[in-house]
Amino acid sequence: MITRRGFLRLIGGSFLSMVSLSAYAIGIEPMLLTHVKRYSLTPPHWPAGLKLRIAALADIHACRPWMTPERIGSLVEQANALQPDLVVLLGDYVDGMQMVTADVPAPEWASALSGLKAPLGVHSILGNHDWWHDHAAQLAEAGPTVARQALESAGIPVLENDVVRLEKDGHGFWIAGLADQLAIRPSKALGRHGFRGLDDLDGTLAKANDGSPVILLAHEPDIFPKVPSRVSLTLSGHTHGGQVRLFGYSPVVPSDFGNRYAYGHVVEDDRNLIVSGGLGFSIMPVRFGMPPEILQIDLG
């Protein structure tokens, strides 16, 4: 039988363990040196001889004290050190929670991102928070958002239901970027019910009008079941890997598909999806088992 002293020691030890884990999840793991998550694959229909390195950054969520312009600058240096052929930004540059000491104005985080360098350029899409926190865009149910204007002013093109054709080593390929799938929030005052996306998958892919392979940028991974096989690779963010992930499982995932598209490399019917764990956080400043990450993706 456990004694009173033993019981108090057990309770005290459990309490200290919980405090330590909480301190780690809030104060340490979110601020750890960002992990580089590497993937190497040759998707179906990928041209022989085309080797392409992509660096992908997702869900920056600029804010103080967690994701300052200075920290974004260090992420830029880390991404550049990978010597990518191409850099893609997967949306959600704006902070996504109330537990911040200050917002980071769009020109500041965009200026920090302008330091990204790659021979084939830097290309971006927007995320839901880039729309949700833009009051004028929500009222108009249309852009351009403040985030888009900031990125373009910093020299970073934004793809919203649009494409760009690139070439490397004599091979052409397309980067296709979707507009956000949850862009317009519900509003009782405006009579809006449910989220409304501005994405147009079919219209976007129709612009990639030759047989060259397509890399699709889609902030939310929930579009993946609709993505046709002509798309070699879909890159997404949004989920943050659940922010808390243990033994390959995340208890809370902002996706209609739960853990199916929560994180990592997913292959379905020879179609490839990679979901980034992201760099910042939303709702709560907590990461556990899911440190911040930059993606390095080597194709071919």
**Same domain, yes or no: 119 and 173:** yes
**Same domain, yes or no: 121 and 159:** yes
- Count of domains in the chain? 2
- pLDDT tens-digit map of 213-261: 999 999 999 999 999 999 999 999 999 999 999 998 999 999 999 999 9
**Same domain, yes or no: 23 and 64:** no
Q: Work out the average pLDDT over 4-11.
A: 45
pLDDT attached to residue 31: 52
Is the separation of the CB atoms in 57 and 71 below 8 Å? no
**Same domain, yes or no: 252 and 271:** yes
**Same domain, yes or no: 223 and 112:** yes
**Same domain, yes or no: 18 and 38:** no
**Same domain, yes or no: 132 and 9:** no
pLDDT attached to residue 188: 84
**Cα–Cα dist 29/245, whole Å:** 12
pLDDT attached to residue 13: 45
pLDDT attached to residue 34: 85
- pLDDT tens-digit map of 76-121: 999 999 999 999 999 999 998 888 999 999 999 999 999 999 999 9
pLDDT > 80? residue 212: yes
For the chain, what is the largest distance between any 2 Cα atoms, rounded to a whole number of angstroms?
A: 76
**Cα–Cα dist 111/83, whole Å:** 20
Q: Which CATH number do you get for residue 176?
A: 3.60.21.10
**Same domain, yes or no: 266 and 173:** yes
Q: Work out the average pLDDT over 172-192.
A: 93
Question: Token digits for 4?
Answer: 């009173």
In SS3 terms, 177-190 reads as ECCCCCCECCECCC
**pLDDT averaged over the chain?**
91
**Same domain, yes or no: 271 and 283:** yes
Range of the domain at 216: 33-299
Is the separation of the CB atoms in 198 and 184 below 8 Å? yes
- pLDDT tens-digit map of 258-273: 999 999 999 999 999 9
**Same domain, yes or no: 123 and 251:** yes
**Same domain, yes or no: 100 and 71:** yes
Question: Token digits for 39?
Answer: 């993937």
| Rg of the Cα atoms in the chain | 20
**Same domain, yes or no: 149 and 193:** yes
**Cα–Cα dist 258/242, whole Å:** 10
Is the separation of the CB atoms in 31 and 67 below 8 Å? no
